[in-house]
Amino acid sequence: MDQVLVFVTLALTLILFIWGKIRYDIVALLALLFLVLMDIVPAAEAFSGFGHPAVITVAAVLIVSQALQRSGLIDVAGRFLDFAGSNLLVQIAILSLVVAVASAFMNNIGALAILMPVAIHLARKNGYSPSYLLMPMAFASLLGGMTTLIGTPPNIIIATFRADIMGEPFGMFDFSKVGVFVAIAGMIFMVFIGWMLIPKRKAQSSEEDFFDIENYITEVKVTKESKIKNKTIGDLEEFSGTGVVVLGLVRDNKRIHAPSDSFDLKTNDILILEADTDSLKSFVGNTKTELVGGKKFHKDAKGSDDILIQEAVVMENSPLIDETAAGLRMRSRYGINLLAIARRDKKIRQRIDNVKFRTGDVLLLQGRSININDAITSMQCLPLAKRELSIGEKRRTLFALSVFFISVVLVVAGLLPVQIAFALAAVTMVLSKILHVRDLYNSIDWPVIILLGAMIPVGTAFETTGGAMLITEQITGVGQQFPPWVLLAMLLIITMFLSDLINNAATVVLMAPIAINTAHELGFSVDPFLMAVAIGGSCAFLTPIGHQSNTLVMGPGGYKFGDYWRVGLPLEILIVAAGVPLIMWFWPL
């Protein structure tokens, strides 16, 4: 009976993961709590997963990764990419290589996020679409992550499974034996073939071109006859409804950015409005204001030089998700104006204050130079503009790199387990103020931590109730009729397929027990089977939902759902063809 309940729970969990309407960490908690209520997972052990070495290691690595980003380490490398020339293949190769190397030692999302603005700048500078660069970079971040123990959570999980079985985890560079060659093969494919499979998108030379903002930002003048004279900004809604947004105003040739709702309007004020054509026409008619947009008063007013327009991508864990600008009161809370939203290859212009934000949306934001970057950070969005290095950054970079290097040496030398070494590194980064305390907890991807902490007891129940063994028997029954490499290929392909649909950490938690049982049943070493699962867990190339890196580039690249498998399918076939022989060579059966 317990085995049936576990199977049903896992089946429903996978369905909810694929459906995606409920966030994966909540789904994992629901699965765990159900098994606790059914007395399959003991209540006393329900949250034991949160103290698991894999969970601690992932959290510590994320903190260290964020500190490395803040230190300016990857920004230094990014500055040299301006000298990559105008050759597209060279730019794809260099960007992919830098992202892959960075992803081997830090969070792959962070590595990609830092270099995305550089890639977009290069694309616009040379007059071609960023789509040619962004997908290769996203895929390179996944390929690079598979090459080291700390490159991706699946590798950390696989290492702890090996420690439970053999008493010793995989080392820092044990994954490199296969991962490096697979990553090189994948990037060669992307540089010479893969990018040509990406649909051609229209190039944009700037964010203004991308959103065409002048078409719907204009100015109206408050005259003596205007009905809004002596009214407040908040009173304008009765005249405009939700189709017009006040971005600012000009009074006495001085610009006032994002005025509050209580701000009083006077004769000769110039209102800077965002509106579609129909809403603007209605507003001017109802308020008896004078349309003066063609004169662009707001660009000549004092203080206008301090107003910046910047693009940003909504990240997966942003507080904006499923909220609207109106509901969040974005202007008063963050001090910025939302000018436009671009979703995949579509531009949303009408009533954007009431559009619910989604992961990967590209926002066009307007704010003062002193606070717009802080606002974007608070919203957990990724700015798509080049950042300059600050004075004194070199010293911080060298210190952060030294702390990281010492941590790696301690792990490789076997002096400290990885969770302790990187926990110490994380504390050192905070104490040295490379990473501020206020950013400590923001640097942790909490949904992934919750997912792991909840799924580890679920995975244990899957194994202890005999569920993993039942699936193993089916696999070995088929595998006994074929050579061992066929079994490795099957495990690799199944893991790849699941990673394209659900979180790769959850995939590895479920597949690792099957891999171990399969090896034991056939009398083989567990290492090649665990390596097959580890490689497969990093190969989420077929969909934009399989990994955050894929989701992150979807909006800026203008990709559609089907664009991923067009490039990802031949890449995954290549990885299977190269990966299986490499696994058997470096990790004999």
* Tokens 């894929």 found at: 550
Q: For a pLDDT cut of 90, what percent of the chain falls above it?
A: 35
Provide the angle, in degrees to the nearest 10, between the axes of the packed helices 561-586 and 484-499. 150
The verdict on residue 317 lying in a domain is yes
Given a contact cutoff of 8 angstroms between Cβ atoms, the answer to whether 39 and 1 are in contact is no
Euclidean distance between CA atoms 10 and 550, whole angstroms = 25
Q: Are residues 468 and 327 in the same domain?
A: no
Euclidean distance between CA atoms 127 and 204, whole angstroms = 7
The verdict on residue 541 lying in a domain is yes
Range of the domain at 331: 306-383
Confidence tier at 350 by pLDDT (50, 70, 90): low
Give Cβ neighbours of residue 308 (< 8 Å, ≥ 6 apart).
366, 367, 368, 369, 372
The verdict on residue 409 lying in a domain is no
Give Cβ neighbours of residue 262 (< 8 Å, ≥ 6 apart).
232, 233, 234
Mean per-residue pLDDT, 18-33: 88
- DSSP bridge partners of 272: 219, 248
* Highest mean pLDDT of the ranges 15-24, 286-295, 437-446, 521-530: 521-530
Number of residues that this document lists for the chain? 589
Q: Are residues 168 and 178 in the same domain?
A: yes
Q: Are residues 280 and 427 in the same domain?
A: no
The verdict on residue 393 lying in a domain is no
Last residue of a domain, one of 359, 383, 407: 383
- The tens digit of pLDDT for each residue in 524-557 reads 999 999 999 999 999 999 988 788 888 888 878 8
Question: Range with the lowest mean pLDDT among 35-39, 278-282, 397-401?
Answer: 278-282
Q: Are residues 264 and 227 in the same domain?
A: yes
Domain total of the chain? 3
The verdict on residue 436 lying in a domain is yes
The residue that leads in pLDDT, 354 or 432, is 432
- The tens digit of pLDDT for each residue in 249-267 reads 888 888 887 787 788 899 9
Q: Are residues 158 and 229 in the same domain?
A: no
Give Cβ neighbours of residue 379 (< 8 Å, ≥ 6 apart).
312, 314, 318, 319, 320, 334
Mean per-residue pLDDT, 209-232: 75
Q: Are residues 295 and 319 in the same domain?
A: no
Confidence tier at 228 by pLDDT (50, 70, 90): confident
Confidence tier at 467 by pLDDT (50, 70, 90): confident
The verdict on residue 397 lying in a domain is no
Q: Are residues 298 and 353 in the same domain?
A: no
Last residue of a domain, one of 279, 304, 329: 304
Question: What is the full DSSP assignment across 37-70?
Answer: HTTSS-GGGTTGGGGSHHHHHHHHHHHHHHHHHH
The verdict on residue 406 lying in a domain is no
- The tens digit of pLDDT for each residue in 104-117 reads 988 888 788 878 88
Q: What's the sign of the alpha-carbon dihedral 99, 105, 109, 115? A: negative
What the block records as the tokens of 97 is: 């290589």
Phi, psi of 335 (to 5 degrees): 70, 30
Confidence tier at 247 by pLDDT (50, 70, 90): confident
* Tokens 């190339």 found at: 541
Strand bridging mode 346-348 / 270-275: unpaired
Question: Range with the lowest mean pLDDT among 197-201, 372-376, 514-518, 563-567?
Answer: 197-201
Task: Please report the pLDDT score of residue 427 as a whole number.
Answer: 94
Euclidean distance between CA atoms 363 and 379, whole angstroms = 11
Confidence tier at 120 by pLDDT (50, 70, 90): confident
- Strands (E) in 4-132, as ranges, are none
Given a contact cutoff of 8 angstroms between Cβ atoms, the answer to whether 191 and 96 are in contact is yes
What the block records as the tokens of 159 is: 């290492």
- DSSP bridge partners of 382: 313
Euclidean distance between CA atoms 364 and 384, whole angstroms = 10
Last residue of a domain, one of 283, 304, 325: 304
- Whether residue 209 is predicted with pLDDT greater than 80 in this model: the reply is no
Q: Are residues 438 and 558 in the same domain?
A: yes
Q: Are residues 193 and 225 in the same domain?
A: no
The verdict on residue 388 lying in a domain is no
Confidence tier at 522 by pLDDT (50, 70, 90): confident
- Whether residue 205 is predicted with pLDDT greater than 80 in this model: the reply is no
Q: Are residues 358 and 252 in the same domain?
A: no
Could you tell me the CATH number of the domain that includes residue 289?
A: 3.30.70.1450
- The tens digit of pLDDT for each residue in 485-502 reads 999 999 999 999 999 988
- Whether residue 138 is predicted with pLDDT greater than 50 in this model: the reply is yes
State the chain's mean pLDDT as an integer.
84
Provide the angle, in degrees to the nearest 10, between the axes of the packed helices 446-464 and 153-166. 30
Q: Are residues 357 and 256 in the same domain?
A: no
Q: With a threshold of 0.85, does the pTM exceed it? A: no
Q: For a pLDDT cut of 70, what percent of the chain falls above it?
A: 87
Question: What is the full DSSP assignment across 224-255?
Answer: TT-TTTT-BGGGGHHHHTTSEEEEEEEETTEE
- The tens digit of pLDDT for each residue in 40-90 reads 999 999 999 999 999 999 999 889 888 887 776 666 665 666 666 678 898
Residue 171: Cβ-neighbour burial (10 angstroms; 0-12, 13-18, 19+): middle
- The tens digit of pLDDT for each residue in 449-464 reads 999 999 999 988 988 8
Q: Are residues 170 and 235 in the same domain?
A: no
Q: Is 383 helix (H, G, I), strand (E, B) or coil?
A: strand
Confidence tier at 340 by pLDDT (50, 70, 90): confident
Task: Please report the pLDDT score of residue 391 as a whole number.
Answer: 38
- Whether residue 238 is predicted with pLDDT greater than 80 in this model: the reply is no
Dihedral, 356, 358, 360, 366 alpha carbons, nearest 10: 30
